[in-house]
Amino acid sequence: MIGKEDMQIVSHKEIAKDIFELVLQGELTRQMTKPGQFVHVKVSETFVPLLRRPISIARISREDRTFTIIYRKSGEGTALLSSKKPGEKADIIGPLGNGFPIDSSLKGKKVLLTGGGIGVPPLYELSRQLKAIGAVPVHVLGFENIEASFYKEEFARLGDTYFSTTDGSLGVKGFVTDAISYHEIEFDSLYACGPTPMLKALETRYTEREVYLSLEERMGCGIGACFACVCHIPNDPAGYKKVCSDGPVFRAGEVVLSC
Amino acid sequence: MIGKEDMQIVSHKEIAKDIFELVLQGELTRQMTKPGQFVHVKVSETFVPLLRRPISIARISREDRTFTIIYRKSGEGTALLSSKKPGEKADIIGPLGNGFPIDSSLKGKKVLLTGGGIGVPPLYELSRQLKAIGAVPVHVLGFENIEASFYKEEFARLGDTYFSTTDGSLGVKGFVTDAISYHEIEFDSLYACGPTPMLKALETRYTEREVYLSLEERMGCGIGACFACVCHIPNDPAGYKKVCSDGPVFRAGEVVLSC
Amino acid sequence: MLNITLPGLTLKNPVMPASGCFGFGKEFSNLYDLNKLGAIMIKAATPEARFGNETPRVAETPGGMLNAIGLQNPGLSGVIQTELPRLESFDVPIIANVAGSSIEDYMEVAERISQAPNVAALELNISCPNVKTGGIAFGTDPKMAADLTEAVKRVSSVPVYVKLSPNVTSISEIAIAVEQAGADGLTMINTLLGMRLDLKTGRPVLANKTGGLSGPAIKPVAIRMIHEVSRAVSIPIIGMGGIQSAEDVLEFLYAGASAVAVGTANFVNPFICSEIIDELPEMLSKYGFSHVRECIGRSHEDAPKPDYHRA
Amino acid sequence: MLNITLPGLTLKNPVMPASGCFGFGKEFSNLYDLNKLGAIMIKAATPEARFGNETPRVAETPGGMLNAIGLQNPGLSGVIQTELPRLESFDVPIIANVAGSSIEDYMEVAERISQAPNVAALELNISCPNVKTGGIAFGTDPKMAADLTEAVKRVSSVPVYVKLSPNVTSISEIAIAVEQAGADGLTMINTLLGMRLDLKTGRPVLANKTGGLSGPAIKPVAIRMIHEVSRAVSIPIIGMGGIQSAEDVLEFLYAGASAVAVGTANFVNPFICSEIIDELPEMLSKYGFSHVRECIGRSHEDAPKPDYHRA
Ligand SMILES: Cc1cc2nc3c(=O)[nH]c(=O)nc-3n(C[C@H](O)[C@H](O)[C@H](O)COP(=O)(O)OP(=O)(O)OC[C@H]3O[C@@H](n4cnc5c(N)ncnc54)[C@H](O)[C@@H]3O)c2cc1C
Ligand SMILES: Cc1cc2nc3c(=O)[nH]c(=O)nc-3n(C[C@H](O)[C@H](O)[C@H](O)COP(=O)(O)OP(=O)(O)OC[C@H]3O[C@@H](n4cnc5c(N)ncnc54)[C@H](O)[C@@H]3O)c2cc1C
Ligand SMILES: Cc1cc2nc3c(=O)[nH]c(=O)nc-3n(C[C@H](O)[C@H](O)[C@H](O)COP(=O)(O)O)c2cc1C
Ligand SMILES: Cc1cc2nc3c(=O)[nH]c(=O)nc-3n(C[C@H](O)[C@H](O)[C@H](O)COP(=O)(O)O)c2cc1C
Ligand code: FES
Ligand code: FES
């Protein structure tokens, strides 16, 4: 069930250059189940900026009713969010969207999780849940450079973890696809989140395997009502999928990757 | 010289029901001289609300470069202002306007200072300066009720102080004019700040004495450029005075009191 | 103290979601009980299914947002067969938003959709700024607006409200024209035409280049237009444009609206209509009213109140 | 990297205060060196001195403000004898804002004020929404706008810019009409007509009831109008409407403005023009420009650049 709550900020810190980890506590956490879902965050008390910001759920801790989001301070909205302090509240709507599919058939399977930049956060909860059901997660994470990288050890604790950076300051120089080739990584299925060009490259390359991609699109409502976030689907001009409510995770080929 | 500065909030507390005392520190204080001047306060970092809020200077302390404002939390802007904490900054423009005239001719004279509600704050610095030059300040302060009253002892320390409240919970029940009559207060000149009906009553009543009135009007710029705050002057249809830069203090009769 | 009666509409309260900002209600029905609403203005329907414009379709602006959805909808048949039946379980009048590229399109949609059992009124969308043909073109010319209204009135089985565009020199002129052509009511305002440019690329942020400006930023424009039009016509107005709170509702009623619609605010807070309805009674009392009717048109001291207000 | 040449105007930089938001410069001359400014658009002058409207004259709105000053000014003689001479000590071109109630009024002001030594151009205010006669009436009818422009051009000794109202169905139509009538340039946009009601009294907050909406809220409307008009005409545009920062200046240049004016922001931060001018060079470099000229009209991929831009 989607809910709205003024959630308690438990901790909030900069964990890499312009990358913030925000831990929130409240009842809404009980509704969070699938990795890859996101929340819609109101970053100010006034109507400037007007719209909420979609941010993926990076970790769910149902025991203490907390969940974690990790975001990059880029524009006006995330800058405002970054100034919030522990003890204050944050107005959250969630959980939104359909996450990555996880079921017992993955037990014992090697699942490659590939993320670029701020596409990395949802992979963390995904990896935790995959490991919990007995799958074998392998991570290939791409960052701009080492300063912008985060959660390296956290991922390493869950499975083999490789890196790529644009400048070569961490791992392979290049893109995640370069790192996958360089390390000759084998896998049964592939779950990815990151910039559209990255998703497109993966989709084109691994046509034989089961591939799930998590998309980003500018959003209005986040709940499927405004039609801001639609994608085309193949072979049907009037057909569409909404990233917020039909996605953000789609099976490769389900939607046209240009949006 | 009018300046603009992000001033340090030294202290900020609620001193009566919805009445806040805010002490600010910075270089701008050096420019503040005359009682009755005001500052223009930006209450938010965004442009909501867009305009600044005019608030009178209630106390100037040039030694530690601090000054004090006292305001009532009423609408959106003052509500936002009231949430600011010591250690944070406040964007201030000032000092603005012309204050109450003070010169050595007042030495030994009995000066009645009359204020209503949020018209009281500027009288405090005025009284301090009058006392400093050897005048004898007497105060008649009007409030809604005792809960909304403030600075009673502070004024009492500077001179005789009388009160009126709408409900009679402090001093004379009624208006400041009632308190002046009741206590049969004698004075040489009268300085007043408060709601227009109060100023009008005083102006009509004390035509023989030197009377100075500090006016309020909705403002745009606060510096004389937008013409938002004009008043008519007697006997000149196109003539006008600007409350922000020609005032806010006017000699009784100088402007038409309906604005 | 909240009920209002308008042509075709018996409203429990004067608050309804605005067209295009509530889809066909499905998503919101999972969030709260839609029976609470005064009415529902559903998303525009055109004869054929439409994808609409390419993305990006929304952009933020100071205190507002631009959208260029472009009338994406499942087409008349989709709406009648799938969307409207789903809403039949609720005891809420539906106002169907009618769009198209030609008079014939509008007539086709109006005739068929007005026969759906739960459609209580039509809202003629002659003000959509985001489509190349039809839409706003009909809303900026009094003659075209009147002709279209007349044509639709002929085929509609329910009262017809005409949705006015604010992008005109004289909105009263259009309002009078459609009143004379037989409109039963007006809804206003649709969005203001706007644009935002990307600082890095220099190009418009929206794929459609221009979009419709909505949200708090446009509230003063809406208020002045409703104030003006409510004096110029005697048919009722459903007001909208930047409503975010119960206080905003009051301001629209004062201006001369008989009911209001909430648009963009549904995106910021999907529970907003429900929350506003809950707050209305207390707010009315606070300002000394015992019924919403008493607020309507209060900004016009001397304006004679239209008949339906006296009821 | 900041200089721009426009008819009658040699600007050190493209930033100037907008008319009515800077008085006659006196107050600001105490705050910073006015020589920094590209130009100064002074407050409107009418033949006779005017008090303007009653107060309250301003009201805040979400992300904007309403004003109904009503062309208060010391009259043509006052401006020429007192205000303009005071500005002569600065090496800054003055753009005189011309207003009135009739064509004769405009002609009288234009003829005399254009002869003042430091007046480099006129800005015909045919878009003031806050006066009963003249003002916006001239700005909403292409024929009237053209006639007025022609009449003023006949008597003016300096180039004439016409200030357009956004409260029209087709701003390009007006723009083209005044271009054909001989306008040397356009300034746009003036304020949008708006209203705010007081929740307690139910009545308009402004004594004049309606007022002109300015500030960040209207920026997207200004951008789209400038984008549109800059394609429709080949005379230059001085753009305005909600500018608050150097980034906003860039957006207006992209849209097609050749220079910009800052209005309401002067009230929020009286140092804003000076600060924006200081920030421009670095901001231009950041986005890869070596001269402001390169930004002008960049939102139009395929638009041929008007002649004066190529200079
Ligand atoms: C499903 C989903 C999950 C996301 N998860 C994360 C995450 O875990 N961590 C993270 O750092 N970021 C994430 N993003 C991207 C994040 O939403 C944007 O970075 C953020 O909205 C930027 O806001 P801003 O105010 O800083 O930027 P501005 O540029 O000021 O934003 C202006 C507008 O553009 C939108 N916008 C800007 N960039 C993007 C973008 N890349 N995608 C979608 N809308 C955008 C904003 O929401 C806003 O409406 C996610 C986006 C989506 C759609
Ligand atoms: C010269 C001067 C000195 C003042 N000194 C003080 C003071 O020392 N302490 C104090 O509490 N108040 C003082 N005021 C009044 C104070 O400015 C208003 O109470 C305040 O602006 C209200 O803002 P708001 O956002 O809370 O109210 P809102 O109602 O949200 O304000 C809306 C708009 O109306 C204006 N406004 C509202 N009330 C007034 C008012 N009474 N006078 C002028 N503009 C108003 C606001 O500035 C704003 O633009 C003074 C006003 C003036 C003109
Ligand atoms: C995303 C979006 C889609 C809209 N779609 C429609 C539509 O299909 N038909 C219509 O008549 N109005 C449409 N509108 C206009 C709204 O119904 C409303 O008139 C306008 O947004 C002003 O109200 P607001 O400021 O409360 O949003 C749409 C508005 C938005 C923001
Ligand atoms: C208080 C005020 C007074 C104004 N007076 C005039 C005027 O006298 N003549 C004129 O052409 N425009 C006048 N304007 C309009 C501005 O010059 C400008 O076109 C408009 O405010 C939009 O710009 P902004 O959003 O930056 O303020 C005035 C605007 C304001 C806010
Ligand atoms: S963001 Fe509104 S439908 Fe997806
Ligand atoms: S507030 Fe602008 S002139 Fe006084």
Residues in chain C with CB shorter than 8 Å from the CB of A96 are none
The secondary element (H helix, E strand) that includes residue D310 is: helix D307-310
D26 CA → ligand 6 middle, Å: 13
DSSP state of B62: T
Q: Higher pLDDT residue, A62 or C129? A: A62
> Could you report how far apart the first and last alpha carbons of chain C are, in Å?
14
pLDDT 10s digit of each residue in chain A, 259 long? 899 999 999 999 999 999 999 999 999 999 999 999 999 999 988 888 999 999 999 999 999 999 999 999 999 999 999 999 999 999 999 999 999 999 889 999 999 999 999 999 999 999 999 999 999 999 999 999 999 999 999 999 999 999 999 999 999 999 999 999 999 989 999 999 999 999 999 999 988 889 999 999 999 999 999 999 999 999 998 899 999 999 899 999 999 998 5
How does DSSP assign chain A, residue by residue? --EEEEEEEEEEEEEETTEEEEEEESGGGGG--STT-EEEEE--SSSSS-S-EEEE--EEETTTTEEEEEEE--SHHHHHHHT--TTSEEEEEEEESB-----GGGTT-EEEEEEEGGGSHHHHHHHHHHHHTT-EEEEEEEESSGGG---HHHHHHHS-EEEEETTSSSSEES-HHHHHHHTT---SEEEEES-HHHHHHHHHH-TTSEEEEE-----SSSSSSS--SEEE-TT-TT-EEETTTT-BEEETTSS-TT-
For C58-89, the pLDDT digits (tens) are 999 999 999 999 999 999 999 999 999 999 99
Query: Is residue D232 helix, strand or coil?
Result: helix
Q: Is the pLDDT of residue C306 over 50?
A: no
| Average predicted confidence (pLDDT) for chain C | 94
Residues of C annotated as part of the active site: 128
How far, in Å, CA of D226 to CA of D190, rounded?
12
Q: At residue C1, what is the residue type?
A: M
> Counting beta carbons within 10 angstroms of the beta carbon of residue A207, is it exposed (0 to 12), middle (13 to 18) or buried (19 or more)?
exposed
Q: At residue D175, what is the residue type?
A: A
Q: At residue B63, what is the residue type?
A: E
How far, in Å, CA of B44 to CA of B51, rounded?
10
Strand runs labelled E in chain D: 4-6, 9-11, 15-17, 40-41, 58-61, 64-67, 94-98, 119-125, 160-163, 185-188, 192-195, 210-214, 237-239, 259-262
Confidence category of residue C307, pLDDT binned at 50, 70, 90: very low
> Could you report how far apart the first and last alpha carbons of chain D are, in Å?
14
Which chains does A contact via 3+ CB–CB distances below 8 A? B, C, D
Give pLDDT, residue A114. Answer: 96
> Counting beta carbons within 10 angstroms of the beta carbon of residue B103, is it exposed (0 to 12), middle (13 to 18) or buried (19 or more)?
exposed
Give pLDDT, residue D135. Answer: 65
B3 DSSP β-pair partners: B94
For C160-199, the pLDDT digits (tens) are 999 999 999 999 999 999 999 999 999 999 999 999 999 9
Tokens standing for residue B116: 């209503």
How far, in Å, CA of D222 to CA of D191, rounded?
10
For C147-160, the pLDDT digits (tens) are 999 999 999 999 99
Q: With 0.90 as the threshold, say if the pTM is over it.
A: yes
**B64-91 mean pLDDT:** 95
Tokens standing for residue A200: 């497109």
Q: Is the pLDDT of residue C303 over 80?
A: no
How far, in Å, CA of C20 to CA of C69, rounded?
9
> Counting beta carbons within 10 angstroms of the beta carbon of residue D260, is it exposed (0 to 12), middle (13 to 18) or buried (19 or more)?
buried
How far, in Å, CA of C42 to CA of B247, rounded?
55
Nearest CA in chain C to B48: C63
CA of B194, nearest ligand number: 2
Give pLDDT, residue D60. Answer: 97
Q: Among B58, B123, B98, B94, which Cα is nearest to B243's?
A: B98
Alpha-carbon radius of gyration of chain D: 18
Q: Among B80, B7, B61, B79, which Cα is nearest to B39's?
A: B7
Q: Is the pLDDT of residue B101 over 90?
A: yes
Q: At residue D177, what is the residue type?
A: A
How does DSSP assign D115-164, residue by residue? TSTTEEEEEEE---TT-SSSTHHHHS-HHHHHHHHHHHHHH-SS-EEEEP
DSSP state of D189: -
| Distance from the C56 Cα atom to the nearest Cα atom in chain B, whole angstroms | 25
Q: Higher pLDDT residue, D307 or B24? A: B24
Q: Which residues contact B44 (CB under 8 A, 6 or more apart)?
A: A46, B77, B80
Pairs from B154-162 (Cβ < 8 Å, separation ≥ 24) = B154/B124, B155/B123, B155/B124, B155/B127, B158/B127, B158/B128, B158/B131, B159/B127, B159/B131, B162/B138
Share above pLDDT 70 across residues of chain B, in percent, rounded to a whole number: 100
Instruction: Give yes or no for D29 touching C (CB within 8 A).
Output: no
Confidence category of residue C308, pLDDT binned at 50, 70, 90: very low
Q: In degrees rounded to 5, what are phi and psi of residue C135?
A: 55, -125
Q: Is the pLDDT of residue B212 over 70?
A: yes
Give pLDDT, residue D82. Answer: 94
> Could you report how far apart the first and last alpha carbons of chain A are, in Å?
28
Confidence category of residue B209, pLDDT binned at 50, 70, 90: confident
A193 is annotated as contributing to ligand binding: no
How far, in Å, CA of C114 to CA of C122, rounded?
7
Peptide bond into B95 cis (omega under 30): yes
Give pLDDT < 70 ranges for chain D: 131-135, 303-311
Q: At residue D223, what is the residue type?
A: I
Confidence category of residue C5, pLDDT binned at 50, 70, 90: very high
Query: Is residue C32 helix, strand or coil?
Result: coil
| Distance from the D50 Cα atom to the nearest Cα atom in chain C, whole angstroms | 26
Q: Are A112 and A210 in contact (CB under 8 A)?
A: no
Atom in ligand 4 nearest the alpha carbon of residue D73: 8
Instruction: Give yes or no for C220 touching B (CB within 8 A).
Output: no
Residue with tokens 């320390």: B157
Residues in chain C: 311
Q: Higher pLDDT residue, B45 or C55? A: C55
| Distance from the A44 Cα atom to the nearest Cα atom in chain B, whole angstroms | 10
Instruction: Give yes or no for D49 touching B (CB within 8 A).
Output: yes
